[in-house]
Every structure is written in C-alpha cells, then in structure tokens.
Amino acid sequence: MKEEIEALERNGTWTLKELPKGKRAIDSKWVYKRKFKPNGTLERNKARLVAKGMQKTFAAILIYVDDIIITRNDEGKIAEIKKHLHKNFSIKDLGPLKYFLGIEVTKLKEGVVLSQQKYVLDILKDAKMENCRPTSTPMEENCNLEPPEGYEVVDEGRYRRLIGQLLYLIVTRPDLVYPVNVLS
C-alpha cells in the first residue's frame, strides 16, 4: 500500500483541495491482488487504491466530435444533465441511442446488444463483394495469401482502407481478429 501511495504521489495523481460546500468526497478502497510467475510461484503482492464513486455519481458521457452519448441508470439524472448542457450549448436530443459511429445499439431488458451489420454491408459494397457467400469460418489456418499467376495487383491505398475498416469491425466481431491480423 505504501508503494502504491508513493507512486500515486510521484505521478501527481491528485491534489488535495477543500471540498466545496454541499459536496461529498468520493470513497475509495484498496484492492489486493497476487501476481504470479509463469511457473506458478508468487512474484509479488499488489495493492491498488480505487475510487468507489461510480455507484453514487458521474453518469458516463462519451463525446466524439459533435456527438454525445449520456448513460446512467437514472433517467431523471440524464434529463438533468441534458437540461444543463442545453443551457450552455446548442444541442439536439435525438432520443434513445440507436446508432453511433457505425455501431447499431439495441436495448433489451437483459442489457444492450451492439451490432455493425450496416457497417458490414457498407464494407462489402465498397469492396464490390455484396453478392459474396457467408462462411462459418472466417479464415482457414495457414491460408496461402499469395496471388495466383497473372493476378491483377491490388491498389495499396484501397487495401489499407479496407484493413482499417475491418479493424474497426472487430469491435463487435472478435471472431475476425485472427483473419484481420493476418491480412494486415
């Protein structure tokens, strides 16, 4: 614990300030973990000081350029945040999240489902592969990626763009990590 506090102080993690009137300090707690060597013997004990305030607060707010997602378990608090933002900025409330940065969002009572189906269709269209057939295995192991004799050379810029699109696709399709890695 002493080493952890010293590291936090060395890194300037916090500055002590007077707490504003009517505000409560965020609680913290110690989390202990044992780190083991590959042979299974104890390498060292670790201690981390973590803030516990998430259940008592900051909604999570994601901002990308001019798009904002606000999430929290309390709809009333989300409305307060939106009202505050609207007082200070020109914002437009588009309602419940459905689509963000190429990711389709569907809210179910069990949780949230993320999909990039439209993004996949756009990639296939861009690559002129709209009529390709799906397969259950994204790529066989040890696949030979050498072009056949007389094959037309691929445009490097277009290929890199496609790889970039596929890298973003693995956000919701972890089964594609291996083939995208091989192709890149």
The pLDDT, as a whole number, for residue 57 is 58
Binned at pLDDT 50, 70 and 90, residue 154 comes out as confident
* Residue in 121, 113, 130, 112 with CA at minimum distance from that of residue 165: 121
CA 121, CA 132: separation in Å to the nearest integer? 11
Binned at pLDDT 50, 70 and 90, residue 54 comes out as low
Between strands 67-71 and 99-100, the pairing is unpaired
User: pLDDT exceeding 70 applies to what percent of the chain?
Assistant: 97
Question: Are residues 23 and 75 located together in one domain of the fold?
Answer: no
Across the range 153-178, mean pLDDT stands at 90
CA 53, CA 42: separation in Å to the nearest integer? 32
| Domain contains 145 | no
Cβ–Cβ < 8 Å for 169, 123? yes
Question: Are residues 105 and 181 located together in one domain of the fold?
Answer: yes
Across the range 147-159, mean pLDDT stands at 83
* Residue in 121, 112, 21 with CA at minimum distance from that of residue 73: 112
Binned at pLDDT 50, 70 and 90, residue 138 comes out as confident
Give yes or no for residue 40 having a pLDDT over 80.
yes
Collapsing DSSP to helix, strand or coil, 100 comes out as strand
Residues contacting residue 42 through CB under 8 Å, at least 6 positions apart: 34, 35, 36
Which of 107-111, 130-134, 147-151 is the least confident region?
147-151
Question: Are residues 89 and 105 located together in one domain of the fold?
Answer: no
> What is the per-residue pLDDT across 69-102, written as a single tens digit (0 to 9) for each?
888 888 899 999 999 888 888 888 888 889 888 8
| Domain contains 108 | yes
- Biggest CA-to-CA distance, the chain: 76
Tokens standing for residue 52: 């516990």
Q: How high is the mean pLDDT of the chain? A: 86
Question: Are residues 183 and 104 located together in one domain of the fold?
Answer: yes
Domain that holds residue 88: 59-95
Question: Are residues 23 and 89 located together in one domain of the fold?
Answer: no
Give yes or no for residue 56 having a pLDDT over 70.
no
Give yes or no for residue 55 having a pLDDT over 70.
no
**Number of domains the chain contains:** 3
Across the range 22-34, mean pLDDT stands at 86
